[in-house]
Amino acid sequence: MLVSIMLLRTLIIAPYEVPSGSMIPTLQVGDFVLATKFSYGYSRFSLPFSPNLFGGRIWGSEPHRGDIAVFRYTHDTSIDYVKRIVGLPGDHIQMTDGKLYLNGIEVPRTDMGHYEVIDENGRLLSGERYREDLPGSGGRSTVSHEILKLDDEGFANNTPEYVVPEGYFFAMGDDRDDSADSRFQGDGPDDLGFVPMQNLVGRTPIVAFSIDLKHPWWQVWYWPVEIRWGRILHLLH
């Protein structure tokens, strides 16, 4: 039984918790997503404890623009990140006045109105919600998804143009002003940089379970009101 569970988690599908608000509104703090391990092939990070048995990927396939992916953090591969892939090898990525540019063309977005949300630190954030239409890749159609914007100021909203190197991808959070992602290219603890393809763990197509845990986990009598019933088996875009 244990061997079967290990094989399932290694080769097919595995759950991952969303600990931060960097992917709000697509993902919420307390979501548990399922990652399909076979989507991008297998690397050493697909294995328990990530033994350094081989490099690169076996049966590897390139991710698609717009995919929500689980991958290992570039500065500490014991840490899992969940972000959206917005750039592939050869893509030119830039943020100007808070707008995303892909290969020199502004990515279309539609204003969907005002929003307020509580982040993982209990702060009330207020800004605008947009539907962004990210050009697909590999023959796939446009990926429409929601993003949040607080403002258009600062470095994260006005970056240099990045060219994604071969063998890497560019990841961003949907909460554009509260995400440590590939826009940050230094050596600091919040600087993700370009992500090697071999760091990919899997694609996340669905939320399996979600809970807004405001009380200690062992106080199970609060679970019925803290479970986000509407997000169970929620499909992601």
**Residues taking part in catalysis:** 22, 83
* 85, 63 Cβ separation under 8 angstroms: yes
* 115, 148 Cβ separation under 8 angstroms: yes
- Interatomic CA distance for residues 191 and 210, integer angstroms: 28
* 91, 103 Cβ separation under 8 angstroms: yes
* 190, 211 Cβ separation under 8 angstroms: no
Own/partner pairs, 226-232, CB within 8 angstroms, 24+ separation: 228/28, 228/30, 231/28, 231/31, 231/207, 232/207, 232/208
- Interatomic CA distance for residues 150 and 98, integer angstroms: 9
- Interatomic CA distance for residues 149 and 152, integer angstroms: 8
- Interatomic CA distance for residues 127 and 29, integer angstroms: 18
